[in-house]
Structure 1
Amino acid sequence: MAEQEIMPIEAASRQRLDKWLFFTRLTKSRSIAQKAIESGKVLVNDRRVTQPSHAVKAGDVVMLSLDRRDVSVRMRGAGSRRGPFEEARLLYDDLTPVPVPGERLTPFEQATREPGSGRPTKRERRETDRLQEGWGGGDEE
């Protein structure tokens, strides 16, 4: 298998931001990368970038806001293809802080409740009714 060509930092080669995000496997497709950039979810060196053709070079810090997490990486070099994860990982240094559990929840996760909180379920109501019947709490005529 051929090694992925990684440009050294000295070469300071530049690459389109959308291609680089795709090559690093931070986005699933180049079109998704373009949409994220155009919607303002990508910052390069603390500046919002809205052009997918923006050129990035080695040493640039790229911050990407994804659905479930925020990613911050420092670019090591430009890639030539979208390879496996091991190759893609060589293109950047991960600067992302450790995520806090429950920090960013999806709408589905926000809608779910903890078991035992709020209104009882049908099963819990039946168990309560059985308990009350056993203690003579039921209405018997």
Structure 2
Amino acid sequence: MHPSLANIGAYIKTNTLALVPAARAAGTTQGPAIDTGAFRSAVLAVAVGAATGTPTGASATFTFESRGSTSGAEGAPGAWAPVVDRDGQELSVIATAADGAVELDLDFSFLGDDHDQVRVKQVLAFTGGASPTLLTGAVLVLGGSNRLPV
């Protein structure tokens, strides 16, 4: 049996926290900078928990931003830019149901030529409710490394 069938853990890295689990109010949250390193692709796995404050609707939109770690002035990190596909469309996924999960695939060839860092951006919106919050968190599963085991 091929190792990719019997030992998937040697081919992916699953312990990269992209968005710390927390109850969040409406607005924008960015996760930490994650070095893409030797990897060529990733899957964002988002978990959405319960809402508080009895909103009648909620949506959490997740996208990616990238930058070069040394592409700015004097080797400082460059500015964050939205990650878009080959058609110029921003990669995104929207979670609308509490107690659910969504995922978003990312091909690192979509990053800028000198970009070697990525982060997750979440935009949370509510309809109605009294100071509503939504529990969200995400893990970035990295794959396609040029060296094994990961």
Instruction: Note whether the superposition's TM-score is higher than 0.5.
Output: no
Instruction: Give the structure-1-normalised TM-score.
Output: 0.28
**Which structure carries more relative contact order (alpha carbon 8 Å, separation 6+)?**
2
When Rg is computed on C-alpha atoms for both structures, the one with the higher figure is 1
Return the structure number with greater helix share. Answer: 1
Instruction: Give the structure-2-normalised TM-score.
Output: 0.27
